[in-house]
Amino acid sequence: MITIDGSYLEGGGQIVRTAVSLSAITKKPVKIINIRKNRKNPGLSNQHIACVAAVSKICNAKVEGLIKGSETLVFYPGKIISKNFEIDIKTAGSISLVIQSILPISLAIDKNVEITIIGGTNVEFSPPIDYIKNITLKFLENIGINSEITILKRGFFPKGGGIVKITIKPSKINPYELIENENIEIKGIVFNQNLDENISKRIRKSASDELLNRGFCPEIKLEKINGESAGVGIFLYTNYIGSDRLGKKGLLSEAVGTTASEKLLEELNTKMAIDSHLADQIIPFMPFSDITIGVSKITNHTLTNIYVVEKFFDVKFNIEKYEEKNANGYIISTKGV
């Protein structure tokens, strides 16, 4: 049995998500200790439980310690069965993070699996569902992972109520290399549920003004919808680089748009192909083929995922500083290991 320290580096729920996913694929049991040990509310939350439940449904796992607040989890994977199902996080917990747990299992299924997930689509401290749909899945398609997402309803904190359907398809990973960013066309969306439409317009204007001042001509759409919860925010992206900001009470709409644009520009300034958020999402797929990516920076999230992946596979990741012309970042690869 593989034992993983859940307090390593970033010490968050990502360790749990990656570990159970790889356990399902490799059929190696895993024990995770010290889960979120150094966090304000240590142990498993509803969102982490939903991730484990989703993976366990696919691989018929036996799980010990799957209760809120548990700091130890033991996961015994069974036979993977390609079946459709639904997962309700029961809070505004991130749907995107559940999807991150599920995606690698496309490497082990024998037919399409459709999963309906209920929870939060756009919440703090996790990628918005727009990021997963427009960046994560787009990149994974290049290496052979073909999945589809349909956003049926958006869900915001604290009510949630978002509904997303994801279809994962049997996949095999191909070699791939992508270092620098090229052909930049900035797109975006301002999503608004149950709030004044003028808020959206102010967010879009401030974001557009910031980007126009830097020589870009963004295409930012407005989305006005109704749902169980109220919320507003912006998501900007180009190729495999994204930025987002949620609105909240007391925060000027102009600050929401400007901050999102500034974050995107910061990533673009490195000239690297992949942003720091996508990098850690790619790591679990890299042991299956020769993959080389150029990233803007190395985060603890990325290093944490490397730690977990190296526990399951006889592989070592190479991280090198990259400085070429105006580009400045890092290269992560599994070539030659």
Query: Which region, left, alpha or beta, applies to residue 197 given φ > 0 means left and ψ of -120 to 50 means alpha?
Result: alpha
CB atoms inside a 10 Å sphere around CB 40: 5
> Rounded distance, CA 253 to CA 267, Å?
22
> Rounded distance, CA 237 to CA 249, Å?
25
> Rounded distance, CA 190 to CA 223, Å?
6
Angle made by CA atoms 320, 326, 330, in degrees to the nearest 5: 15
* Contact criterion met (CB below 8 Å) for 17 and 99: no
| 301 is annotated as an active-site residue | yes
Q: What Cα–Cα distance (Å) separates residue 281 from each residue in 2, 81, 240, 267?
A: 21, 24, 12, 17
Q: What Cα–Cα distance (Å) separates residue 181 from each residue in 144, 184, 269, 273?
A: 20, 7, 10, 4
Closest to 24 measured CA to CA, from 79, 99, 84, 82: 79
Determine if residue 14 is labeled as part of a ligand binding site: no
Residues paired with residue 227 on neighbouring β-strands, in sequence order: none
Determine if residue 277 is labeled as part of a ligand binding site: yes
Q: Which of 97, 301, 305, 307 is an active site residue?
A: 301
Cα(first)–Cα(last) distance of the chain, in Å? 24
Q: Which of the residues are catalytic? A: 301
Annotated binding site for ATP: 100, 277-281
